[in-house]
Amino acid sequence: MKIKYDLIHKDKNTEARLGKIHTNYGVYDTPMFMPVGTQATVKTLSPEELHDVNAGIILSNTYHLWLRPGEDIVDEAGGLHKFMNWNGPILTDSGGFQVFSLAKPKDITEEGVKFKNQYNGDSLLLTPEKSIEIQNKLDSDIAMSFDECVGFPHTRKYVEESVERTLRWAKRGKNVFNNPRQSLFGIVQGAEFEDLRKHCVEELVKMDFDGYSIGGTAVGEPKDLQYLQVEYSCKYLPKDKVRYLMGVGDPIDIVENVIRGVDIFDCVSPTRLARHGHALTKYGKINLKNTKYKRDFTPIDETCDCYACKNYTKAYIKHLINAEETFGARLLSIHNIRYLIRLTEELREAIKNDRVLEYREEFIKNYYGGKKNEG
C-alpha cells in the first residue's frame, strides 16, 4: 500500500503539523523521530527494545546493504522486514549521501556516481535506476529518490546545475520504480536559495511522489541557514503529503523544524552519542565519563520512562562505559532514542493545544538554561 498522510491539526501560531501516516504496518502519529538501523540493525538494540521505546518507522541504508550482504540476499530472505525481524515500517535512503561523501566531484556525471567500494576498493557505479532497483529488492515501505547532496559551502551556479540533475535523476528513478508495496519519496534540493527550492518542489510535485524529503541540510551549514532551507522547502510543499527532513536529530533542530512544518526526522546521533558516553536529558547533554557521576546513584533523567532510567543509575552506566562494557552503550542508546521519540510525543501534545511556541521557550530554558550542557 502507498503511504497516506492525514493532517489532523495545525498549530495556530506556527507551521507545526499534527498528523497521521498510514503504512503497511498501521497508523503512526507525527511529528515522529525515526531511529537509524544502517545495516539492518539499530546499533546494539533488539527489535523488542525498539518497540519498548515506542519507535514507529525505522531507517536502513541502501548503500551499506548493497555492499553487505547484497540486495539479492535480503530479497531471498523475504525482504528487509523478515531479514531483520522488524514488524513495523522501514524507510530506506537512496545511498546518495554515503556515495557523495566517498566520491570526488569529477566522479558525478549525468549517468550516476562512480566511487570505490569502501570495503575492497572495487570501482562501483550507482545510478538512479540502480538505487531504485536495490530498494525495490530490499522491499522497504518507503524508498527514496537518488539525488545529489551538495555540501557547504557552494556556489549558486553549482547548486543550479545540481538541482536540475537531481530532478532528472528523480524522473529516471520513478520511471523504473515497480514495487507496489512501496512508496517513493522525492527529495527537495536547492541549498539556501528560495527560488531554487521552489522550482525543485514544483517540478517534483508534477511527478506526483508519495511524500517529499528535504535534503541538503545538516551538511556543515550554520543552524539559522538550516532552518531557512527548511522554511523555503515547506513553504511550497503540498499539505496532503508527508514531509521528511533527512539526517537531522539535534533536539533543538527537531523543535525548530517542527515549527517550520516538518513531520518526520532521522539521525544516527542518539546511538553515536551513546557509544561515546553521552546522554540526552531534559537539562541538556551530559557526559557520563565525567568524574562527578562516579557516586551519582540517580537515573540519567528522572523525567524519563525508559528501561535504562527505570532500572539503572548514572554511576553504574559510567562504570560500564569506563570498563568498555557494551551494556553501557546499549543502555544509553535505549535512553537517547527514547528521549528523541518522547520529544516528538511532547511536540504532538503542544501542537494539539496550540502552544508550540511556549513549548519551545520551555525547552530552551530547560535544555540550555538549566544544568550545564556538557556536550
Sketch the domain layout of the chain as residue ranges.
4-268, 274-369
CA 272 vs CA 216, 275, 283, 301, 373: distances in Å:
21, 5, 19, 19, 17
Residue 36 is given by DSSP the state B
**Is residue 363 scored above 90 in pLDDT?**
yes
β-strand partners of 188: 214
Identify whether the C-beta of residue 170 lies closer than 8 Å to the C-beta of residue 145: yes
Query: Is 344:247 a contact under the CB 8 Å cutoff?
Result: no
Q: What is the pLDDT of residues 238-257, one digit of tens each?
A: 999 999 999 999 999 999 99
Q: Determine the Cα–Cα distance for residues 270 and 339; give it in Å rounded to an integer.
A: 9
Residue 301 bears catalytic tag: no
Whether residue 266 lies in the annotated active site: yes
Grid coordinates representing 372 are 550545564
Nearest Cα to Cα of residue 174 among 138, 208, 213, 126: 208
What number is the average pLDDT over the span 138-146? 98
Average pLDDT over the chain, rounded to an integer = 96
- Least confident window among 94-108, 210-224, 330-344: 94-108
In order, the DSSP letters of 174-196 are HHH---TT-EEEEEE--TT-HHH
Tell me which CATH homologous superfamily contains domain 4-268.
Queuine tRNA-ribosyltransferase-like (3.20.20.105)
CA 89/CA 24 separation, integer angstroms: 7
* Residue of 147, 250, 266, 301 marked active site: 266
Residue 185 backbone phi and psi in degrees, to 5? -105, 140
Residue pair 280/270 in contact (Cβ under 8 Å)? The answer is yes
Of the candidates 194, 208, 184, the one whose C-alpha atom is nearest the C-alpha of residue 163 is 194
pLDDT digits (tens, 9 = 90+) for 283-305: 999 999 999 999 999 999 999 99
How many Cβ atoms are within 10 Å of 158's Cβ, its own excluded?
13
Q: How far is CA 314 from CA 25, 348, 371, in A?
A: 36, 29, 15
Q: Give 40-78 pLDDT, tens digit per residue.
A: 999 999 999 999 999 999 999 999 999 999 999 999 999
DSSP designation for 106: G
What is the predicted pLDDT for the residue at 58?
98
What would you report as the CA-atom Rg of the chain, rounded to the nearest whole angstrom?
Answer: 20
Q: What is the pLDDT of residue 371?
A: 53
**241 phi, psi to nearest 5 deg:** -125, 150
**Would you tell me how many other CB atoms lie within 10 Å of the CB of residue 73?**
12
The pLDDT of residue 370 is: 56
CA atoms within 13 A on the CB side of 334: 25
Task: Kindly name the residue from 11, 93, 147, 253 that is annotated as catalytic.
Answer: 93
The answer, yes or no, to whether residue 87 has pLDDT greater than 90, is yes
Helices (DSSP H) in the chain: which residue ranges? 47-52, 62-67, 71-76, 80-84, 96-102, 128-138, 156-176, 194-207, 223-234, 251-259, 269-275, 307-311, 314-322, 326-352, 356-369
Predicted TM-score of the model (pTM):
0.96
Q: Which of 363, 350, 359, 358 lies closest to 9 in space, CA to CA? A: 350
